[in-house]
Structure 1
Amino acid sequence: MTIADLRILSATDLAGLEISLADVIATVEDAYLTLQAGRSDNPRKLTVKPPDGHSVSYAMLGRDGSRDVVAIKTSYKHGLDKGRDEQRYYTTLTLYDDTTGLPMAMMDCSRIGSLRTPAVSALLARECAVPGARTALVIGTGTQGRLALPFLLTVLPDLDRTMVYGTHPEGITAIQDHLGAHFPGRDAEIVTDLRQAAASADIIVAAAGGHTPAAVEAAWLKPGALSILVGHGLAPSTLHEADRIIATSEAQMNVTGTDMADASGVLPAVDAEFPAVIAGAAVGRGSAQERVFAYNSGLVVTDIALGHRFAQLALAQGLGRGIPLWR
C-alpha cells in the first residue's frame, strides 16, 4: 500500500500565489454548475456552539465531481462576545484525490474564504441585480467587505457609483487600497447616512461583523433593489418583505440565518437556490421592480474548487512541506 505524506500549505505559502479575480469567479461558477448537474455532493454543515455563544464551530464535508476531489473544511471562531480585535478565527481545508485515493494537501482556508465569498456575491449580483444596475453599496470593511467591490466591478463593469459604509478607518483604507489595486483610478464613496445610501443603491452587499450598528430596513429600499446578505447589516424586514428570495442553500440558511427569523422564529421559504439560478434552471429575478433578497452562505464545494486551484498552483511552485502523518 502506498502512503503519501500530507502536504501542509500555510497562510504564508498561499499568500504569495497570484490568481486573477476572473479566475476565482470562473472556478466558483464551475463548482455551482457541477453541483447543479448532480455530479458533486454538498451536505449541510454541522454546527456546535456553547450555551453562552462565545464561540462557534463548523464542519463541512463535500465532493467535487468535476475535479474528483473529496474534502473537509473546519472553521472555529472564538470571542464572539468580544470586539473584533480580540476574536480568534481558524479555518482549514483538507483535500483528497478521489482518483488515486491519496491525500493532496491540508491548507489554511482563510484566503480561500476571503476570495470565494465576494466572488459568490458578484455572481449573485450578475444573475439577480436589476438590468442596467449602476450603483452598489457595501456595508462592512472587514475581510469579506474588502474585495466586494473589485469582484462586483469584474462582473458588472458598468457600475459607476460604488459606496461603502463602515466604522473602522483601517478597514475603509483597505477597501480603497484593494479597489485601486484592481481598478486603478476608481475610488469608493464613503457614506455616513446609511438610509440615504441604501435608498439609492441597486445592489447592497451586507458583509459587516456581528457588532455593526447597520441594519438596512426593507422600507428604505427602492424598487428593483438586490440585497445580498453575507454577514450582517440588513434588518430581517429585507428578507421577509422581499418579492423574491434566493439562497445559495436553503438548508444552510436555516442553520446560519436564524438571526433573520421573524418574531415567531420562522424564516420564509426561498424561491430558488442559486446553483439552479446560475445554471438557468430557475429564475433569479422576475421583473425590474422586484426587490430581491439573496442569502450568501458558503458551500463547501466552492471552497473545494478554489482550494484545489490553490493547491495546484502551490504544488507547481514546490510550496509547503510534507508531513508523514500516517507513517
Structure 2
Amino acid sequence: MPDDIRILTEADLRKAVTLDLGLVDVIERAFVALAQGGVVMPPVLSMDLATQNGEVDIKTACIPGFDSFAIKISTGFFGNAALGLPSLSGLMVVFSAHTGQVRAVLLDNGYLTDLRTAAAGAVAARHLAPADVSTAGVIGTGLQARLQMQAAHLVRPFTQALVWGRDADKAALCADDLSRTLGIPAQAVVDAEELVMRSQLVITTTPARAPVLQAEWLHPGLHVTAMGADAPDKNEIAPQALVRADLYAADRLSQVEVLGEFRSALAAGLWTKAPPPELGTIIVGQVPGRVDQQAITIADLTGTGAQDTAIASHVLGQSVRIDTTARHLSD
C-alpha cells in the first residue's frame, strides 16, 4: 500500500469534523451541485438482508470542481440496539478525481453518514421550514433522531422539543438527551398525532414499513422532513400527505421514485401533478420554495452520493489542518 494513502479512524474523524453550521453549508453545496448539473452519480446499490433485519447501501458521486470523490459503504442492522451496538456502520474510500488513485480510507463506522444525513435535514429546514419555529418534533428515538434535532436547531432555534417513539421508555430517554444537549425543554408524548399538531417542524427518522405520519395530521405552517425511507419497502409518510402538501421536494427525484416516500405515492396512483422539484433547485432559486408561513411543506431525503463525496472531501481538508497544527505544536 502506498505510503501516501491516509487511513483515518473514527477517533481521527471525530477530531476533524462535527455537526455545526459549517458542515451544513458543506452539505448544502452538494445539493447546489446537483441542481447545477454535471454531477456523475449512479443509482444506489442496495442489498436487503431481511433475515438479519439489515441492509447494505453503496453510494458515490463525482462532483465537478472537486479534487476527490468518495465511495461509501453503509450498513444498517436494526436489531443492533439489543446488542448495545449502533444501528449504522460503514466506511468511505476516497479517490483522486484526476488519477483514480486511492487517497484515503475513512473508517468512520457510519459517523460521517450520521453527520451528513443530519446536516441534510438542516438544509431542508433552512430552506423550507417556517421562519419562526417554536416547537419541533421528532418521530423516532435513535441516534439520528437526536442528530436531526440538533441540526435543525442550528438553523431554526426552536424553544421546545417533542419526541414520539413506539417504545415510551426510549422516547423519554431521547427527550432527556435533547433537553441536555439543546438546553431547552423536551417532552416525550404518547401520541404521534399530538406531536405533529403541536409542532411547526417535524422530522421522521424511522425504518418504518408503514406510515407513522398521516395526511390528516398536516396543518398550516408545518414542515416535515422525512429521512427514514431509503429502501423500496420503507414508508414513513402516508402517500396522501405528499399530495395534500403545498410543496413536496426531493433530494434526488430518481432516488425517491424507487426508494423514498414518492415511491409510495406513485404506487398508490395518487400523484397526478408534475414531477416534484429537487431541493437543490429550490436553494438556487430555480423553483419557488415556501411561498408563505402558512404553507405545508415536505422534504423527502434518501441520502445521496454527492453528500458523501462532499463530507469526505471536507473531512480530508480538516484532518490535514489538524495534523499540521499538531506538528507545529510539537516543534
Report the TM-score range of the alignment, normalised by the length of the smaller protein. 0.7 to 0.9
Q: Distance in 2 between matches of 1:91 and 1:83?
A: 14
Q: Distance in 1 between matches of 2:4 and 2:117?
A: 30
1:152 equivalent to 2:152? Answer: yes
Q: Secondary structure at the match of 2:149?
A: helix
After TM superposition, the score normalised by the length of structure 2 is 0.81
Question: What's the CA shift string for 1:77-114, capped at 9, x where partnerless?
Answer: 34x5x574368643221111224653221113411111
Q: Secondary structure at the match of 1:239?
A: helix
Shift in alpha-carbon separation, 1:237–1:53, aligned structure 2, 3 A: farther
Question: What's the CA shift string for 1:151-186, capped at 9, x where partnerless?
Answer: 1121112x23321113264565355435534x4x32
| Alignment match, 1:41 | 40
Kept after mapping to 2: 8 A contact 1:139/1:164: yes
Q: CA deviation at 1:4?
A: 5.0
Deviates more, 1:194-203 or 1:85-94: 85-94
1:223 equivalent to 2:220? Answer: yes
Aligned counterparts, 1:227-238, within 5 A: 227-231=224-228, 233-238=236-241
Shift in alpha-carbon separation, 1:52–1:85, aligned structure 2, 3 A: closer
Q: CA deviation at 1:315?
A: 4.0
Q: CA deviation at 1:244?
A: 2.0
| Alignment match, 2:306 | 301
Q: Secondary structure at the match of 1:77?
A: strand
1:278 aligned residue (270, 276, 283):
283
Shift in alpha-carbon separation, 1:175–1:55, aligned structure 2, 3 A: same
| Alignment match, 2:232 | none
Aligned counterparts, 1:8-157, within 5 A: 8-49=7-48, 54-78=53-77, 82=79, 84-85=81-82, 89-99=88-98, 101-109=100-108, 110-157=110-157
Kept after mapping to 2: 8 A contact 1:162/1:189: yes
Q: CA deviation at 1:138?
A: 0.9
| Alignment match, 2:231 | none
Superposed CA RMSD in Å reads 3.1
Kept after mapping to 1: 8 A contact 2:236/2:261: no
Question: What's the CA shift string for 1:227-279, capped at 9, x where partnerless?
Answer: 21111643333224323210001111122126961594557364210111111
| Alignment match, 2:189 | 191
After TM superposition, the score normalised by the length of structure 1 is 0.82
Which runs of 5 or more residues in structure 2 are unaligned? 229-234, 325-331
Q: Distance in 2 between matches of 1:276 and 1:43?
A: 19
Q: CA deviation at 1:25?
A: 0.6
Task: Give the partner amino acid of 1:215.
Answer: V
Q: Secondary structure at the match of 1:132?
A: coil
Kept after mapping to 2: 8 A contact 1:122/1:151: yes
1:246 aligned residue (245, 249, 255):
249
Task: Give the partner amino acid of 2:116.
Answer: R
Which runs of 5 or more residues in structure 1 are unaligned? 320-327
Larger helix share, 1 or 2: 2
Deviates more, 1:159-168 or 1:171-180: 171-180
